[in-house]
Amino acid sequence: MRSITTTDGTEIFYKDWGTGQPIVFHHGWPLCADDWDAQMLFFLHQGYRVIAHDRRGHGRSTQTDTGNDMDTYAADVAALVKHLDLRDAIHVGHSTGGGEVARYVAKHGAGRVAKAALIGAVPPVMVKSESNPGGLPLAVFDDFRAQLAANRAQFYKEVPFPFYGYNRDGAKPSEGIMGNWWRQGMIGGAKAHYDCIKAFSETDFTDDLKNIDVPVLVLHGDDDQIVPIADSALLSAKLLKHATLKVYKGYPHGMCTTHADVINADLLAFFRS
Domain holding 155, by residue range, is 3-272
Residues 6+ apart with CB under 8 A from 214: 105, 109, 113, 114, 115, 116, 242
Catalytic-role residue among 34, 35, 76, 224 = 224
**pLDDT for 1:** 80
Is residue 95 part of the annotated active site? The answer reads yes
Pairing of strands 113-119, 216-221: parallel
Question: Over 90: is that where the pLDDT of 200 sits?
Answer: yes
Q: What mean pLDDT comes out for the span 184-208?
A: 98
Predicted pLDDT of residue 231: 98
253 is catalytic: yes
With a CB cutoff of 8 Å and minimum separation 6, the contacts of 249 are 221, 222, 223
HSE-CB at 2 with a 13 A cutoff on CA atoms is 12
pLDDT band at 89 (very low <50, low <70, confident <90, very high): very high
Known catalytic membership, residue 224: yes
Residue 260: per-residue pLDDT:
98
pTM: 0.98
Residue 126 CA to residue 199 CA, distance in Å, equals 10
Q: Report the alpha-carbon angle 247-115-37, nearest 5.
A: 70
201-219 average pLDDT score = 98
HSE-up of residue 237 (Cα within 13 Å, Cβ side): 16
From the list 27, 58, 76, 95, the catalytic residue is: 95
| CATH number of the domain encompassing residue 160 | 3.40.50.1820
What percent of the chain has pLDDT above 70? 100
Distance (Å, whole) CA 85 – CA 91: 14
Point out the catalytic residue in the list 58, 220, 253, 259. 253
* pLDDT tens digits along 35-76: 999 999 999 999 999 999 999 999 999 999 999 999 999 999
pLDDT tens digits, one per residue of 112-153: 999 999 999 999 999 999 999 999 999 999 999 999 999 999
DSSP 175: H
Q: CA 184, 187, 193, 196: dihedral to nearest 10 degrees?
A: -60
Q: Into how many domains does the chain fold?
A: 1
